[in-house]
Structure 1
Amino acid sequence: IGEHEQPALKTPAQQRRGRSYLYLAGFIVLLVFAAIYLRTDETRQPETSALSDTTQPSGTSEDTTVTLKAAEDTLSAGTVPERIIDVREESSSATDQPNKPLPAKESSPRSVPQDSPLQAQDPQPNLPDSIDLYLTTEPWAHILINGQRIGTTPLKSVLRLAAGEHEFTFQNPAFPVIMNKRTIADSTSNIHFLLTDFVADVELRVIPWGEIYIDDEHRGTSPLADPVYLLPGSHKLYVTHPALAPLTDSITVSAGETIQLMIDLNKSELAVLPAKRSGQ
């Protein structure tokens, strides 16, 4: 019977060396997997950052929109207090206006367009040379002071003017442009302008009828539906009829008076009489 060779048994030192090699191999495998994982994570991170950068402005835009909407709601709610229109400075030209001191919060001056209403100023203590004026007219009118548009009566604000002489201009389509210079003194607190005090009220009656021109402006066919208001002074009158000779004449009127013009084209005559309005 042949004898089989027995495998050589490993010594304890060899066994310990083999386990060390096994641990080292496992550690190297873990390092390889860790390196692969870290590289994959770095590749995904920029994509996540790009996504977050893309979505962030959307939230900011919504917040801004909500803030603006809230501001608009606040303004539209009518919570602005009563204002005072400050017209103490001359406004004949924008370049002649001195610069006004600005509040601490303002970083730049605000310009007021020459052809637009003045911006309302917050109430401030009266200065010795300033007067708060309540201005009313009858009938309504667009108001200009020293050539600058203020607003349309009835005004919702108090006017603050420097004491002294100011030129008031009144515009109403039924009247000629009325200009009046008025000195504003310390005792002045309110002024009421009756526009008919500055013009003549002229009633025209034409026999049999005619086309009426005053100062080369066609006023209509008699009888006129509306009264004719003329500034004081001399005016040219021209009346025509297709079958009669025209009448050319001049009239002189005064402020505050009411007259009646009787024009007879059959006789080419003009008579000036005191007017008789309904109710007189």
Structure 2
Amino acid sequence: MKKLIFVLVDGLRCDTAFRHMGFMEHLLEMGAASRYRVRSELPSMSRPIYETLMTGMPVLEHGIFSNEVSRLSKEENLFGLARENGLTTAAAAYCWFSELYNRAPFNPVTDRLQLDADLPIQNGLFYFKDVTGAYPDSHLIADAEALRQRFNPDFLLVHPMNTDDAGHKSGSDSSDYVKSVIMIDYILSNTIPIWLGSGYTVLVTGDHGINPWGWHGGNGDDERLVPLYIMGPAAAGGDFSETEIPQRMLAPLCCDLLGIPRGKKMLQPALPGLKES
């Protein structure tokens, strides 16, 4: 059985990750990870890109044009495809993922914890405050590990938000933003070895970057370029970041890593440095 953990660090700039994520870069140096550079979709905003990451569809086609579009996805997505193929799904994530794939609008009382085998995200633990420090990344990673230990999901989404929060508050050139990147790298250094030891392939990426003025949504490299680290059985190891990968390639890549058919509208993934894709 192929198993995948998808870590989406919200607001993670590519250059900041390559410079300051010491644990990830250590795995790269040791040949235990493959590293890539990904160009995000436009607009480089969170909710549209969440949908692109989970469906492989461009924004113009999936119709989630901004963060204000609050409705269920109408496209084939990773959670639904995994469930349809007999896999177990889970997510520790911001409530917008619940609104895209389980229930919309999000009700904090009834929807924070969702355990329902008939939903695309069968085992979900969702937070709903995203201001700086409101829901610490340490708590979110603990949520994800609790879901993993209890339900043994085949596909688990892990979505920490503090990096994006720090970027909005202080800008990408600030010490607060850099510290948030260093901190999530540190937190992941305590859990990724456990996940790898449990047989998971682990992906770590960002949805979008952030600019020095504390915003994103536009076409600049600081807002669009994000990292992708792949660890586990599929990763041959090595730096393949000289060639940019379109963000739409991640959803079909996840399907291949899970061993399930891709969505009908998804791209054919082609990444160097993978043992299987």
Task: Return the TM-score normalized by structure 1.
Answer: 0.18
Larger radius of gyration: 1
Structure with greater proportional helix content: 2
RCO comparison, higher one (Cα < 8 Å, 6+): 2
Task: Return the TM-score normalized by structure 2.
Answer: 0.18
